Amino acid sequence: MKTWAAAVLALLVALPLVACGRTESGPTTLALWARSDESAFLQSVVDAFNRTHTGIKVRMTLIPTGNFVQKFGLAVAGDAGPDLASIDLVYVPFFASAGVLRDITPQVRRLSYLDKLSPAHMRNAQYGSRFYALPFSGDASVLYYNVDLFRQAGLDPDRPPTTWSRIENAATAVKKLGGGRYGFYFSGACGGCNVFTFAPLIWASGGDILRGTGTSQQPSVAASPQVRQALQFYRRLWTSGVVPPQAQTDNGANQFTPFETGKVAMFATGAFGISTFTHDFPNLHFKVTPLPGRDGGSSSFSGGDEIAISRTSQHPDAAWTFISWATSMRAQDRYFGAAGVAPIRTDVALGSYSAKGATYATLAKALVSGRAVYSVQENALINDSTGPWTTMIADAVFGGDIDGAISRAQKAMSNTISRG
What's the DSSP call for residue 328?
S
Query: How many C-beta atoms surround the C-beta of residue 419 within 10 A?
Result: 9
Report pLDDT digits (tens) over 345-390: 999 999 999 999 999 999 999 999 999 999 999 999 999 999 999 9
Would the pLDDT of 9 be above 80? Answer: no
Model confidence at 335, pLDDT cuts 50, 70, 90, reads very high
Of the CA atoms within 13 Å of residue 223, those in its CB half-sphere come to 10
CA distance 237 to 186: 10
Query: How many C-beta atoms surround the C-beta of residue 287 within 10 A?
Result: 17
CA distance 90 to 340: 22
Averaged pLDDT for residues 290-298: 98
pLDDT at 3: 46
Please report, to the nearest 10 degrees, the dihedral formed by the alpha carbons of residues 73, 78, 83, 89 taken in order.
10
pLDDT at 405: 98
Q: Are 262 and 135 within 8 A, CB to CB? A: no
Model confidence at 105, pLDDT cuts 50, 70, 90, reads very high
The closest of 130, 132, 236, 125 to 183, measured between CA atoms, is 236
Give the chain's radius of gyration (CA, Å).
22
Identify the helix (H) or strand (E) that includes residue 114.
Answer: none
Averaged pLDDT for residues 277-306: 96
What percent of the chain has a predicted confidence (pLDDT) above 90? 85
Would the pLDDT of 293 be above 70? Answer: yes
pLDDT at 255: 93
Would the pLDDT of 13 be above 80? Answer: no
Model confidence at 22, pLDDT cuts 50, 70, 90, reads very low
Instruction: Kindly give the interhelix angle for 225-239 and 164-175, rounded to the nearest 10 degrees.
Output: 10
Average pLDDT score, the chain: 92
pLDDT at 4: 46
Query: At a CB cut-off of 8 Å and minimum separation 6, what does 140 contact?
Result: 270, 271, 300, 301, 302, 303, 342, 363, 364, 366, 367, 370
Q: Is 154 left (phi over 0), alpha (psi -120 to 50) or beta?
A: left
pLDDT at 25: 65
Instruction: Kindly give the interhelix angle for 39-52 and 316-326, rounded to the nearest 10 degrees.
Output: 110
pLDDT at 2: 43
Report pLDDT digits (tens) over 37-65: 888 889 999 999 999 999 999 999 999 98
Averaged pLDDT for residues 144-158: 98
Report pLDDT digits (tens) over 257-280: 999 999 999 999 999 899 889 989
Report pLDDT digits (tens) over 383-406: 999 999 999 999 999 999 999 999
Would the pLDDT of 408 be above 90? Answer: yes
pLDDT at 358: 96
| DSSP states of 141-210 | -EEEEEHHHHHHTT--TTS---SHHHHHHHHHHHHTT-TT-EEEE--TT-HHHHHHHTHHHHHHTT--SE
CA distance 328 to 348: 10
Position with higher pLDDT, 13 vs 298: 298
Query: How many C-beta atoms surround the C-beta of residue 10 within 10 A?
Result: 11
CA distance 223 to 384: 22
